[in-house]
Amino acid sequence: MSSVSGTTTPTIVIVEDEPDIADLLALYFTREEWSVSICDNADRALDVIRARQPDFVILDIGLPGEQDGLDVCRELRKTNNVPVLFLTARDDEVDRILGLELGADDYVTKPFSPREIVARVKAIMRRGAPTESATTRVEFGTVVVDLERREVRVNGDEIVLAAQEFALLDYLVQNTGIALSREQILSGAWGPDWVGDIRTVDVHIRQLRRKLGDDLPLATVRGTGYRLS
Ligand code: CA
């Protein structure tokens, strides 16, 4: 992945089969000095993403081809934790995003304003940027979290976390011992300007538990939210 800080131009892959939408998004991101690639087909999306190694992926769900955007994300997540924002056309797609726990970083329902998309992408990139922190390496049994290197290992094996999953873990680690409400977690880990479903927190918590196992001392606090102890 190329760096988004300093002088490197950030790159984005837009997977969208509707040319009007793809072109409009491309225009907005080009204006923001991103390098943009468009792919209009799910079956080619992974090849394009692997070739470009983008800093961000916008992924439409309804796509021509054997696969849809959810399939693409599932496949992508096996090897890659690039931030993904889904474009959805219907509410049932949102339920599938939340239910499938694909490690998506955000989603936007059509119709949307391109400005909103740009703002969301920037917010996610800010969250993903390395934070200055006194605590950089924490161990919970077999789970080792290195906040500076943005690396998580269980029993020595590196675990691939989506950018938002890492941001959540980072926030929990920074607030170890404190019972946090879902609202606090959303504000702290997703950012105060994030607007969306509060269930997102539970979905990402489940993902962390599944990926990091029982050694992560992450307790559900009844009536409140969650606490890392
Ligand atoms: Ca579509």
Distance 52 CA to ligand 1 centre (A): 22
Distance 19 CA to ligand 1 centre (A): 10
Distance 17 CA to ligand 1 centre (A): 5
Distance 39 CA to ligand 1 centre (A): 11
- Secondary structure (DSSP) of 36-83: EEEE--HHHHHHHHHHH--SEEEEESS-SSSS-HHHHHHHHTTT----
- Secondary structure (DSSP) of 133-160: -S--EEEETTEEEETTTTEEEETTEE--
Hey, where are the domains in the chain? 11-128, 137-228
Measured between alpha carbons, how far is 59 from 62 in angstroms, rounded to an integer? 9
Distance 62 CA to ligand 1 centre (A): 4
Distance 202 CA to ligand 1 centre (A): 28
Q: What is the pLDDT of residue 195?
A: 78
CB contact burial 91-101 (16+ within 10 A = b; e otherwise): eebbebbbeeb
CA-nearest of 46, 91, 53, 107 to 73 is: 46
Any idea which architecture 11-128 has in CATH? 3-Layer(aba) Sandwich (3.40)
Distance 29 CA to ligand 1 centre (A): 19
Distance 190 CA to ligand 1 centre (A): 26
Q: What is the residue-averaged pLDDT of the chain?
A: 87
Instruction: Select from 1.10.10.10, 3.40.50.620, 1.20.120.80, 1.10.3720.10 the CATH code of 137-228.
Output: 1.10.10.10
Distance 147 CA to ligand 1 centre (A): 37
Measured between alpha carbons, how far is 97 from 117 in angstroms, rounded to an integer? 18
Amino acid making up residue 133: S
For 186-196, the pLDDT digits (tens) are 989 998 777 77
For 11-50, the pLDDT digits (tens) are 999 999 999 999 999 999 999 999 999 999 999 999 999 9
Distance 89 CA to ligand 1 centre (A): 8
Residues 6+ apart with CB under 8 A from 97: 61, 70, 86, 88, 104, 107
Tens-binned pLDDT, residue by residue, of the chain (229 aa)? 444 444 578 999 999 999 999 999 999 999 999 999 999 999 999 999 999 999 999 999 999 888 899 999 999 988 888 999 999 988 788 777 776 677 778 888 898 999 989 998 998 888 766 544 455 788 888 999 988 888 999 999 999 999 899 999 999 998 888 899 999 999 899 987 777 788 899 999 999 999 999 889 999 998 889 999 8
Distance 114 CA to ligand 1 centre (A): 16
3-state DSSP call for residue 85?
Answer: strand
Distance 208 CA to ligand 1 centre (A): 30
DSSP category for residue 184:
H
For 60, other C-beta atoms within 10 Å of its C-beta total 25
CB contact burial 133-150 (16+ within 10 A = b; e otherwise): eeeeeeebeebbbebeeb
Distance 28 CA to ligand 1 centre (A): 19
Distance 3 CA to ligand 1 centre (A): 30
Structure tokens at 28: 């907005």
Phi-psi region of 82 (alpha: psi -120 to 50; beta: other; left: phi over 0): beta
